[in-house]
Amino acid sequence: MNKKILIAIIIFLICFFNPIKISFAQDLQITADKVILMEAETGKILYKKNAYIKSYPASTTKILTAILALENSGKNEIVVPNDDVLNINNGSSRIYLNPGEKMSVEQLLYALMLPSGNDAAIALADHVSESIESFVTLMNYKSKELGANNTHFVNPHGFHDPDHYTTAYDMAIIARYALKNHDFRKIISTYKYVLPPTNKFDQERRWINTNKLINPESKEYYPKSTGIKTGYTSVAKNCLVASASNDNMELIAVILGCEKDMFSQARALFEYGFEHYKKLNIVNKNKIIETVEVYGSESKTVDIATEEDIIDVFPKENSDSIYHVVDIKDDITAPIKKGEILGRVTYHIGNENRTVNLIALNDVEKKNLINIVKPKKELSIPAWVLIILILIYIPLRIYIAIRRKIRKARKIRRF
User: Which residues are marked as active site?
Assistant: 59, 62, 116
* Torsional sign, CA 26, 30, 34, 38: negative
Closest CA to 387 of 372, 409, 400: 372
Largest distance between two CA atoms of the chain: 124
Reported residue count of the chain is 415
Whether the bond between 375 and the residue before it is cis, its omega within 30 degrees of 0, is: no
Q: How many CB atoms lie within 10 A of CB 7?
A: 10
Q: Answer for the pair 208, 221: CB distance below 8 angstroms, yes or no.
A: no
Say how far apart CA 19 and CA 315 lie, in whole Å. Answer: 12
Say how far apart CA 322 and CA 347 lie, in whole Å. Answer: 7
* Torsional sign, CA 172, 174, 178, 180: positive
Q: Answer for the pair 103, 79: CB distance below 8 angstroms, yes or no.
A: yes
Which residue type does 252 have?
I
What is the DSSP secondary-structure string of 113-152?
A: HSS--HHHHHHHHHHHHSSHHHHHHHHHHHHHHHT-TT-B
14-20: list long-range contacts, CB under 8 Å, 24+ apart.
15/350, 15/351, 16/351, 18/350, 18/351, 20/315, 20/317
Say how far apart CA 76 and CA 156 lie, in whole Å. Answer: 21
